[in-house]
Structure 1
Amino acid sequence: MVILPFFIGVNVYYMKKSSLLAIFTVVSAAVGAQSNYNPAEAFAPLFYPSAGNEYRSASGEPGPRYWQNRADYNIVSTLDTAGHTVAAKVEILYTNNSPDALKFLWLQTDQNTYRKDSRASATTTASGGRWANTMFTEGDVIRSMVIEENGKKYTPEYMTSDTRTQVWLSSPLKAAGGKLKLTIEYSFEIPEYGSDRMGRMNTRNGWIYEIAQWFPRMAVYDDIQGWNVLPYLGQGEFYLEYGDISYSVTAPANMIVVGSGELLNPAECFTPEEARRYAAAKLSDKTVLIRSAEEIGKSGMSNRKGTTTWRYKIQDTRDVAWGASNAFVLDGAQIDLPGGKKSMALSAYPVESIGADGWQRSTEMVKGCIEFYSKHLFVFPYPVATNVAGIVGGMEYPGIVFCSYKSKGKDLWGVTDHEFGHTWFPMIVGSNERKYAWMDEGFNTFINGLSSAAFNNGEFKKQSYFDDPAVGETVKSVFSDKGDVLMTAPDVVQQANLGNTAYFKPSLMLQALRNVVLGEKRFDAAFREYINRWAFRHPTPWDFFRTMENVGGEDLAWFWRGWVFNNWKTDQAVRSVKYNNSVPANGAQIIIENLQQMPMPVTVLVKERNGKEQIIQLPVEIWQRSGTYAFEVATTTQIMEVTIDPDKKILDWDRSNNTWTGR
């Protein structure tokens, strides 16, 4: 496959110099500079905690016997708008592909996080902030539970512990393909503010419901830990099995219900005119109104009585979510995907969201970001991409996202692009968000810069952090000793540090890896290969590290140590410049230093009095033995300036020592 350089324009600066490379000779190293640098630690030979195996190859790809379990769901639900409740029955077809017979199952019952006695109430709500709950419910109220296996049904013993429910089986579920069906009837009250993941909001035309974490879901059983049973506390997100999900929502007939996946019965849900517009939107490159603001409360669906059942289906997914309201304006357009494939962009929002650069532009934005990521990363796998305006500031689910109804212009693009960027991390590449937020939030933040540069000729293009006059403050914040390292569980990260730890720093890390260490071609090839290898699978951080190294062709242990496992800083400095025999025409010896613990490759710009400029590129290996490095440059006249990292590609801790000026 030909790898195209699709990252062009994102923090990439090309050197336009008269001479791109000077012939130089290494004459010295280890000249005894005082620094915090320890090359033996940075370049320690042992990095990976274990060797590759038959499940996960040492090369970073799934091994020949890689397995993961599967969970298919069929859900029948009813929305009660009088009591703000959802009542449902879920049938879970669970397949045990593991080599282990399972005596019990674990379910995630996340609505229990909103109970007054939950762990989240003690650890997250008590401390306040975005993920704090503002009201309490009874959580998931389980009415009944039945298991069917080999034609026999029985009621299992089960026990709920906070947001986890353990179900004991009458006999172990066979390894390597054993199946059973678990049926649960349950209900829950919809919290008004559901930790900025879900909730409900009243508008002038009625309530908007954004429903997520709404059915008992199978916990992941994997080859790394067995059952993954970290509780849901609010700040940490999700880790889920893949499968196909069919679900229905019965709601008042004057409400629109939008959800993950394909609407199977639009003719039953819309009026004939609205159904015609819905079909037209699927084929239109421009946004088509399916229900207008003027029709709300006056015509079309607004005049319907009784209830309507909306039926949806989505394949190869880890979750589903949905929104419902009689206040929705609804519009849509066609999404063009590679290979002639098509999808649909939908936006559902209240009249309060309409205004200058308001939600009437949402569908245009959904279409733009989905088409970009599909072209450059991996094809969007779902039939519809729906953006819902409501109380949730920004949250992602397969095929549907919830964004603030207040957003507009640049903010609306930013939140829409970010939440749909999560389609690739972690909806397609299914990493463990409950443990490694940097693998989804950080990777997504990185690709958001690419799509922003491309959308509508850069209408919302982000300024490079490296060009920002306040870059020094950014460096001090990102690499602060008080910050949490990337390899910190999300629920352990201090709330004030989450923006850096989960989003900003890992994005900068990928930029550094691409722009400075691997170069665009090798990075692009490795990054795409990582997505393709682990699409709809469960990679660990080590699988990512191994893939980037094996495909990129570099041992990057020193890089991961500094960026992921430590808060190491980079501080490259010019120590001295001396002419050979004190004569500029004889050439000069330049000594540079690495004063902090993070090594990085070095770019040096040398300017002479006669106008000649030389760029010297030095590999990271110059720091393997010492924190100082000496090299010679051929000069004919006096050196006026020596500058490290002249194009400012490195987030240097102290740029004041990057330049030496001749006197």
Structure 2
Amino acid sequence: MEYTYLVLMKKNTIKAYKMKRLNILAINVLFLLVGFFGTAFGQNTSNYDYVKAFDPAFYQKNGTEYRSASGEPGPKYWQNKASYRISARLNDDTREITATVKMDYTNNSPNKLDFLWMQLEQNMFKDNSIGNAIIPLTNSRYGAKGEEFDGGYKIKSVKVAGVDVKYLITDARMQVYLPEVLNPNGGRLQMTIEYSYIVPQYGSDRTGILDARNGKIFAIAQWYPRVAVYDDVMGWNTVPYTGPGEFYLEYGDIDVDITVPSNHFVVLGGELLNPEEVLSPAQQERWKEAKTSDQTVIIRTAQEAAQAFANKDGKYVTWKYRLENTRDVAWATSSSFIIDGARINLQGGKTALAMSAYPQESSGGNAWERSTEYVKASIENYSKRWFNYPYPVAVNVASNVGGMEYPAIVFCNARSRGQALWDVTDHEFGHIWFPMIVGSNERLHAWMDEGFNMFLNDLSTQDFNNGEYYEGPQDANNLALSLTNPILEPVMTAPSGMNERNIGVLAYYKPAFGLKLLREVILGPERFDLALKTYINNWAYKHPTPDDFFHTIENVSGDNLAWFWRGWFQNNWRLDQAVTRVINNGSGAIITIDNLEQLPMPVIVEVTTRSGKTDRLTLPVEIWERNKSWTFQFDADEEIIKVQLDPDKVLPDFNPGNNRWTK
């Protein structure tokens, strides 16, 4: 999901950095006065505790038959399965969706089930919901902004095997009491729910309605009751939907029939089953052409969209879609859609169809007319680097949603253009890998999808169109002021427990930068890429936990990284390395460095000699395993005049003013 506070964070970082520079200048002046006649800095007090940092007891439990200590699913790993058949009808005048959902549920657990828990996320938009109750008065992205309406589900009936059953709705959850026990190890049932709800104009930046010139755009998500995950970690995962935490869902196949006004065009993340019933002959031919073209092909023109809007006839038509092995489904519909597409080239000779759906006013001036180009490039990149794209289509929808991801379809802001449109498109489609393929629990661990995805986005942006939108490497010293600000909660805090203004840093930027550190500084690209690809392959269409990720990276890379997980993810520790003494001798210099804060890191040292020659040395993080201060000999055949730590500013050292010594 795109996060609106990211831009604000960048601005605040710059402001904080300017303030910090003033302090650093003052410190440097003090050092100059104190050390005018010598080569040593004044003594620094260290907050570093190497026993705590390198405590080997990071993991709280051993591997089990369900989850191996190697990070792989265990030999008896299980998860339940939920497939859905949904028939829905949209009244675009009243904004009401009426629907029937039939769920086929398989209990693969070793436990019998007396009841099921269902997620009713639309109930967040009820006046008396928990989500509405905790929305702050300040500007928040959550809730239904700027309107009062009759929100939430109206449940008309709940049946199991055709028989009405008792149920209890509590906020955004529904407990359904089964007429008989659902047996373990493969027991199955079918549940049918009839319901309706009013689509919010702006639903927590994840679903909503955009007023467009040729008809409203309905971006429809969290639109049917979905079974909660029952797993070996928590049993029933019933944390309520309140806005900040996203979703945790079971996998299965989903068939959808959507009935809409006949002048609408429906896009859904899945295979269109009845194109001959809903597309004109010309559109069917263009659709086929797009599937084989590396260039964008217009499937539904601006003129056709304008004619459709003008020719509303009061009739309805049904669109039929299917998506297999998916955890969710979303869709969008409008009379105003221009539709275009192009072929996505995948690994192993496979292909998919990139599509974009947008109104006429979103086209032109380096805007949505390039959307399909972006979709195609993004998915081809991730498929080549990490894991093949699994769906038949990839649809980008222009809407009033800032950026939100679903299997095979995403919603992005209709006003985005240029780099902003590339960034949001690439980000939302990166979510296909995390969490659509690797199905982590977003409700509790937002960093396992948002942060991982942002890491992928940085590499993808470097590659796109010879770096058209790549802004170059970031100054990690500067970033550290925001990423390790003492007011932040730890990354592993659940998103519902984070101050809303901190979510952009903690769920997105900080974990993404942590993976960048692992890849570029700690492990190197070859070891890290293999470890991440192993994690994706092992947990594709499954439910990993943080420990499963940590174990995988360690086992594949061969490094014990407890110090890193503990400092960067589990705690909000800071890094401050300092050059504290340099003594020239006949064969170079004896250099002393201190670790002044709680986070250890490798040390990158650049040394300059009298003739201007520079040389570098990297010291492993293990020098801090039992030391707060480290002294080493640097060999040189002439006098050393400068020592610089972290010369390329790749480490999150929030106080770079003590990283340099000069003669």
TM-score, normalization: structure 1? 0.92
Superposition pairs of residues 223-262 of structure 1, within 5 angstroms: 223-262=232-271
Q: Contact 1:642 / 1:661 at 8 angstroms: preserved in 2?
A: yes
- Which residue number corresponds to residue 137 of structure 1? 150
Q: Contact 1:509 / 1:563 at 8 angstroms: preserved in 2?
A: yes
Residue among 526, 545, 551 paired with 2:550: 545
CA separation of 1:515 and 1:473: change in aligned 2, threshold 3 A: closer
| 3-state SS, counterpart of residue 203 of structure 1 | coil
| 3-state SS, counterpart of residue 415 of structure 1 | helix
**1:493 corresponds to 2:475:** no
- Which residue number corresponds to residue 596 of structure 1? 597
1: CA distance, partners of 2:546 / 2:105? 27
- Which residue number corresponds to residue 435 of structure 1? 444
1: CA distance, partners of 2:163 / 2:314? 40
- Which residue number corresponds to residue 459 of structure 1? 468
- Which residue number corresponds to residue 177 of structure 1? 186
* CA offsets 1:73-93 (integer angstroms, 9 cap, x no match): 000111111211111111000
* CA offsets 1:332-365 (integer angstroms, 9 cap, x no match): 1111101000100110001110120011110111
- Which residue number corresponds to residue 122 of structure 2? 111
- Which residue number corresponds to residue 585 of structure 1? 586
Write the letter of the residue equivalent to 1:238.
F
2: CA distance, partners of 1:556 / 1:493? 25
Residue among 515, 518, 530 paired with 2:523: 518
Residue among 214, 217, 227 paired with 1:208: 217
* CA offsets 1:610-660 (integer angstroms, 9 cap, x no match): 344332221111001121001112222211111111222212111111111
- Which residue number corresponds to residue 63 of structure 2? 52
Write the letter of the residue equivalent to 1:188.
Y
Write the letter of the residue equivalent to 2:525.
E
Write the letter of the residue equivalent to 2:159.
V
2: CA distance, partners of 1:251 / 1:283? 29
| 3-state SS, counterpart of residue 590 of structure 1 | strand
| 3-state SS, counterpart of residue 497 of structure 2 | coil
Range with greater deviation from structure 2 (313-322 or 628-637): 628-637
- Which residue number corresponds to residue 482 of structure 2? 477
| 3-state SS, counterpart of residue 343 of structure 2 | strand
Q: Contact 1:110 / 1:163 at 8 angstroms: preserved in 2?
A: yes
2: CA distance, partners of 1:515 / 1:660? 25
* CA offsets 1:545-592 (integer angstroms, 9 cap, x no match): 00000001100000001100111111111111113xxxx323321111
| 3-state SS, counterpart of residue 452 of structure 1 | helix
- Which residue number corresponds to residue 572 of structure 2? 567
Q: Tell me the CA shift for residue 474 of structure 1.
A: 2.5
Instruction: Give unmatched runs, 5+ long, in structure 1.
Output: 1-30
Q: Contact 1:236 / 1:433 at 8 angstroms: preserved in 2?
A: yes
2: CA distance, partners of 1:274 / 1:305? 22
* CA offsets 1:288-334 (integer angstroms, 9 cap, x no match): 11111122232699577621110000011100000000011111111
Q: Tell me the CA shift for residue 276 of structure 1.
A: 1.2
Q: Tell me the CA shift for residue 125 of structure 1.
A: 5.9
- Which residue number corresponds to residue 97 of structure 2? 86
Q: Tell me the CA shift for residue 424 of structure 1.
A: 0.4
- Which residue number corresponds to residue 17 of structure 1? none
Q: Tell me the CA shift for residue 132 of structure 1.
A: 3.0
1: CA distance, partners of 2:637 / 2:309? 83
Residue among 534, 542, 547 paired with 2:539: 534
Q: Contact 1:255 / 1:302 at 8 angstroms: preserved in 2?
A: no
Q: Tell me the CA shift for residue 198 of structure 1.
A: 0.2
2: CA distance, partners of 1:623 / 1:335? 48
Range with greater deviation from structure 2 (270-279 or 312-321): 270-279
CA separation of 1:488 and 1:615: change in aligned 2, threshold 3 A: same
Q: Contact 1:33 / 1:628 at 8 angstroms: preserved in 2?
A: no
- Which residue number corresponds to residue 74 of structure 1? 85
Write the letter of the residue equivalent to 1:630.
T
Q: Contact 1:125 / 1:133 at 8 angstroms: preserved in 2?
A: no
- Which residue number corresponds to residue 39 of structure 1? 50
Q: Contact 2:477 / 2:651 at 8 angstroms: preserved in 1?
A: no
- Which residue number corresponds to residue 637 of structure 2? 636
Instruction: Give unmatched runs, 5+ long, in structure 2.
Output: 1-41
**1:352 corresponds to 2:361:** yes
Alpha carbon RMSD of aligned pairs, Å? 1.5
- Which residue number corresponds to residue 32 of structure 2? none
Superposition pairs of residues 110-509 of structure 1, within 5 angstroms: 110-124=121-135, 126=137, 128-134=139-145, 135=147, 136-148=149-161, 153-298=162-307, 306-466=315-475, 472-509=477-514
2: CA distance, partners of 1:161 / 1:87? 21
| 3-state SS, counterpart of residue 368 of structure 1 | helix
2: CA distance, partners of 1:489 / 1:127? 21
2: CA distance, partners of 1:300 / 1:160? 40
Write the letter of the residue equivalent to 1:495.
E
- Which residue number corresponds to residue 627 of structure 1? 628
Write the letter of the residue equivalent to 1:659.
R
Q: Tell me the CA shift for residue 260 of structure 1.
A: 1.3
2: CA distance, partners of 1:205 / 1:187? 26
2: CA distance, partners of 1:522 / 1:133? 45
Q: Tell me the CA shift for residue 386 of structure 1.
A: 0.3
| 3-state SS, counterpart of residue 216 of structure 2 | strand
1: CA distance, partners of 2:86 / 2:344? 28
Write the letter of the residue equivalent to 2:156.
R
Range with greater deviation from structure 2 (112-121 or 609-618): 609-618
Q: Contact 1:602 / 1:619 at 8 angstroms: preserved in 2?
A: yes
1: CA distance, partners of 2:568 / 2:618? 22
Give the total of aligned pairs.
620
Write the letter of the residue equivalent to 2:386.
L
Percent identity over the alignment?
A: 51
- Which residue number corresponds to residue 655 of structure 1? 656
| 3-state SS, counterpart of residue 486 of structure 2 | coil
Write the letter of the residue equivalent to 1:51.
N
CA separation of 1:207 and 1:411: change in aligned 2, threshold 3 A: same
Range with greater deviation from structure 2 (268-277 or 172-181): 268-277
Q: Contact 1:255 / 1:301 at 8 angstroms: preserved in 2?
A: no
2: CA distance, partners of 1:137 / 1:344? 38
Q: Tell me the CA shift for residue 234 of structure 1.
A: 1.0
| 3-state SS, counterpart of residue 308 of structure 1 | strand
- Which residue number corresponds to residue 18 of structure 2? none
Write the letter of the residue equivalent to 2:62.
A
Q: Tell me the CA shift for residue 126 of structure 1.
A: 4.8
Range with greater deviation from structure 2 (302-311 or 67-76): 302-311
* CA offsets 1:237-289 (integer angstroms, 9 cap, x no match): 00000001011100111100000111111111111111111111111111111
- Which residue number corresponds to residue 559 of structure 2? 554
TM-score, normalization: structure 2? 0.92
